[in-house]
């Protein structure tokens, strides 16, 4: 490819889309992408509406410098820039996966309904992704690598550089005299992707110069086969999934192992989660789906968890127990809940409860014990039985905000109100609205 053709190659990937949100790190790849789009806007497509977003992860001592550089570039090229500051919590998933999750969650919060997200992954990135999947023992789904077009937060994510090599991007940047930042962490070969980029792929390309191109073709062929399977299995998958995206276990019991695992992979793919290995799929089925009836099984798969409830499988983000949290609430102000659970506030809608007595402290907790008398029931019931009767999964029981007046439990929002919290005539009433977060 002649490097002068790059902007038009990108235009071909846009397929007529004109409102673009570019993930702009300030590095080589995203700088080339943004510059090429600006050239398209100036020369061929003046109707292009381009915005950029820079995610500040706070992981590098140079992060503020990268923000300043990105702001200068976008000012020079007349591209509106939004800087997102995110919090990265690695947990068990590792820094790379946690940063990616925080990054895409942040971008999902600002993308507009008519915008398409553009990211700058290129052919060499695709090669790394393929080899990482190969290392994990992934099947064709994982080996399909990154898709050029995929759904994203009610819109679409497009990767217009997937058939462009890093060498070609460097040639374009040099010809256009572009400046970019270098992420210092890219030289740390403790990270698997960096190890492949710095130590493995250069040796492979030294032996076979077109190795990355060949890998990209293999990934594309795997993707074609997976697309065919997607079409053939779509009806079965839809019949097994509920509106809450959980998966019916009983419906998979009579299936062959190959069909069952193919459906499990497609179910996991619906959440944009990392493809599991065959061993992980086997563990998912035998240790979670087929666990004993009274168990509360859990399997971690990269940046998600698989759990079971009422003979259905649920795929969830890692969840932190909140049973020890006690939040004092001044109801004159909204209350931000922990672990992205959202916000509570008083208003004209929500759960109606009696107002507290004078001098009673209002707290939000995430645990209750003993027996309760709730509105709509004639007799007291153990809290465990109430959760079960209300079909509340175990992991949500310690993540449901419970309102206490002093030591009196008033309500578990969205589940029940106790007799102590029942709204009665001639007594002030609160309406508590819970705006749920992304969990």
Binding-site residue set: 25-30
Q: Rounded to whole angstroms, how far apart are CA atoms 216 and 218?
A: 5
Q: Is 247 helix (H, G, I), strand (E, B) or coil?
A: strand
For tokens 């992981």, name the residue: 59
Q: What angle do CA 402, 407, 412 make, to 5 degrees?
A: 15
Tell me which residue of 413, 415, 417 sits closest to 434, measured CA to CA. 413
For tokens 């023992």, name the residue: 137
As beta bridge partners, residue 432 has 346
Beta sheet of 342-354, edge-to-edge order: 335-336, 342-354, 429-436
Quick one: which H or E segment has residue 232? Answer: helix 211-240
**How many other C-beta atoms lie within 10 A of the C-beta of residue 394?**
14
> Are 89 and 58 in contact, with CB atoms under 8 Å apart?
no
Binding-site positions for ATP = 25-30
Q: Rounded to whole angstroms, how far apart are CA atoms 415 and 405?
A: 17
Give CB contacts under 8 A, 24+ apart, made by 71-77: 73/24, 73/26, 73/31, 73/34, 73/179, 74/24, 74/34, 77/34, 77/35, 77/38
Q: Which two tokens stand for residue 398?
A: 């310690």
Q: Rounded to whole angstroms, how far apart are CA atoms 32 and 6?
A: 9
The residues near 258 (Cβ < 8 Å, ≥ 6 apart) are none
The phi, psi pair for 265, rounded to 5°, reads: -60, -45
Tell me which residue of 119, 122, 52, 114 sits closest to 83, measured CA to CA. 52
Q: Rounded to whole angstroms, how far apart are CA atoms 338 and 361?
A: 19
Beta sheet of 49-56, edge-to-edge order: 81-85, 49-56, 19-23, 116-118, 155-158, 149-152
Q: Rounded to whole angstroms, how far apart are CA atoms 191 and 405?
A: 49
> Are 337 and 317 in contact, with CB atoms under 8 Å apart?
no
> Are 264 and 285 in contact, with CB atoms under 8 Å apart?
yes
């Amino acid at each position: 490819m002649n490097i002068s053709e790059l902007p038009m190659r990108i235009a071909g990937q846009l397929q007529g889309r004109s409102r673009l949100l570019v993930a702009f790190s300030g590095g080589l790849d995203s700088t080339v992408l943004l510059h090429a789009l600006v050239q398209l806007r100036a020369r061929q497509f003046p109707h292009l509406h381009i915005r950029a977003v820079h995610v500040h992860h706070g992981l590098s001592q140079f992060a503020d410098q990268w923000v300043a550089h990105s702001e200068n570039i976008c000012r020079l090229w007349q591209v509106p820039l939004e800087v997102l500051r995110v919090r990265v919590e690695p947990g068990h998933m590792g820094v790379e996966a946690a940063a990616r999750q925080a990054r895409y969650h942040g971008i999902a919060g600002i993308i507009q309904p008519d915008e398409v997200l553009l990211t700058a992954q290129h052919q060499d990135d695709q090669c790394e992704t393929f080899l990482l999947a190969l290392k994990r023992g992934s099947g064709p789904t994982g080996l399909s690598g990154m898709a050029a077009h995929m759904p994203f937060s009610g819109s679409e994510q497009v990767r217009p550089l997937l058939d462009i090599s890093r060498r070609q991007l460097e040639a374009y940047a040099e010809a256009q005299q572009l400046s970019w930042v270098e992420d210092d962490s890219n030289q740390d070969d403790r990270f698997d992707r960096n190890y492949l980029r710095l130590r493995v792929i250069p040796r492979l390309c030294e032996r076979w110069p077109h190795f990355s191109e060949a890998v990209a073709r293999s990934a594309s062929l795997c993707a074609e086969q997976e697309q065919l399977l997607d079409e053939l299995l779509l009806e079965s998958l839809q019949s097994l999934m509920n509106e809450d995206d959980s998966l019916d276990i009983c419906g998979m019991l009579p299936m062959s192992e190959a069909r069952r695992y193919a459906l499990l992979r497609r179910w996991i793919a619906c959440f944009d989660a990392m493809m599991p290995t065959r061993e992980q799929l086997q563990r998912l089925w035998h240790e979670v789906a087929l666990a004993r009836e009274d168990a509360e099984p859990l399997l971690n798969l990269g940046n998600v968890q698989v759990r079971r409830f009422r003979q259905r499988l649920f795929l969830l983000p890692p969840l932190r127990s909140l049973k020890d949290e006690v939040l004092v609430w001044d109801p004159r102000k909204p209350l931000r809940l922990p672990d992205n659970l959202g916000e509570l506030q008083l208003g004209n809608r929500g759960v109606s409860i009696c107002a507290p007595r004078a001098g009673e402290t209002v707290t939000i907790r995430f645990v209750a014990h003993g027996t309760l008398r709730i509105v709509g029931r004639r007799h007291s019931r153990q809290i465990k039985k109430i959760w079960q009767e209300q079909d509340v999964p175990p992991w949500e029981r310690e993540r449901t905000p419970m309102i206490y007046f002093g030591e009196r439990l008033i309500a578990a929002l969205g589940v029940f109100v106790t007799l102590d919290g029942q709204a009665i005539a001639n007594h002030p009433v609160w309406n508590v609205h819970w705006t749920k977060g992304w969990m």
